[in-house]
Amino acid sequence: MTNVKILGAGCANCKRLEQSVRRVAEARHLDLTVEKVTDYAEMMKWNILQTPGLVVEDKLVSAGRIPKDDELARLLVPQA
């Protein structure tokens, strides 16, 4: 099971990113847990400058934007 974290303090784009992640996961049958990180001190571990941040298996893969579904599908597969 892949662990996915969404970094952001509840802004509109953070919610949209979460929806996108869930939609892509369902469409492509990805097995993942989605966790929301809303605490700034916590999310700064990934050294982001823009929210929402997307973290897959502890690795920051995008920040400050909402990737398109096909890109998201690629990002949600953890890199070795």
Partner 1 sequence: MNSSAPLPVLPDRPHTARAFALVALAAVAWVFAYSVVQPLADWLAYGLLGLAQGSPLGASVAFFLYDVPKILLLLSGMIFVISVIQSFFSPERTRAFLSGKRQGVGNVLAAALGIVTPFCSCSAVPLFIGFVKAGIPLGVTFSFLIAAPLVNEVALVLLFGMFGWQVAALYAATGVTIAIFAGALIGRTRPERFVEAFVFEGMAGAGGLVEEKPSWVERLRAAWQSTREIVGKVWLYVVIGIAVGAGIHGFVPEDALAGIMGRDAWWSVPAAVLLGIPLYSNAAGVVPVVQALVAKGAALGTVLAFMMAVVGLSLPEMIILRRVLKPRLIATFIGVVGAGIIFTGYLFNLVLPR
Which two tokens mark 51? 């929210």
Smallest gap from Cβ 57 to partner 1, in A, equals 15
CB contact set of 69 (below 8 Å; sequence gap of 6+): 20, 23, 24, 27
Binding mask 21-60 for partner 1 (x = CB under 8 A): -------------------xx-xxxxxxxxx-x------x
Residue from 27, 35, 64, 77 binding partner 1 (CB under 8 A): 64
Q: Within 13 Å, how many C-alpha atoms sit on residue 43's CB side?
A: 22
Smallest gap from Cβ 2 to partner 1, in A, equals 19
Q: How far apart are CA 18 and CA 2, in angstroms?
A: 15
Binding segment (CB under 8 A) for partner 1, from list 7-15, 24-32, 72-80 = 7-15
Binding interface with partner 1 (CB under 8 A):
9, 11-13, 40-41, 43-51, 53, 60-65
